Amino acid sequence: MKRMLSIAVLVLLACSAVFAQDHAAKQEAAKKAAQSWLALVDRGNYGPSWQEASSFFQSKVSKADWEKALKQVRAPLGAAGGRTLLGAQYQTDLPNVPKGEYVIIQYRTEMAGGGPVVETVTPMLDKDGKWHVSGYYVKPAQ
Q: Mark out the alpha helices in 43-125 (DSSP H runs).
A: 46-51, 55-60, 63-73
The domain locations on the chain are: 2-140
CA angle (66, 105, 108) in 5-degree steps: 90
Region 48-61 average pLDDT: 97
Q: Mark out the alpha helices in the chain (DSSP H runs).
A: 2-42, 46-51, 55-60, 63-73
With 90 as the cut, is the pLDDT of residue 19 above it? no
With 90 as the cut, is the pLDDT of residue 3 above it? no
pLDDT value of position 113: 86
pLDDT value of position 4: 52
- Answer whether 23's CB lies under 8 Å from 102's CB: no
Q: Which architecture does CATH list for 2-140? A: Roll (3.10)
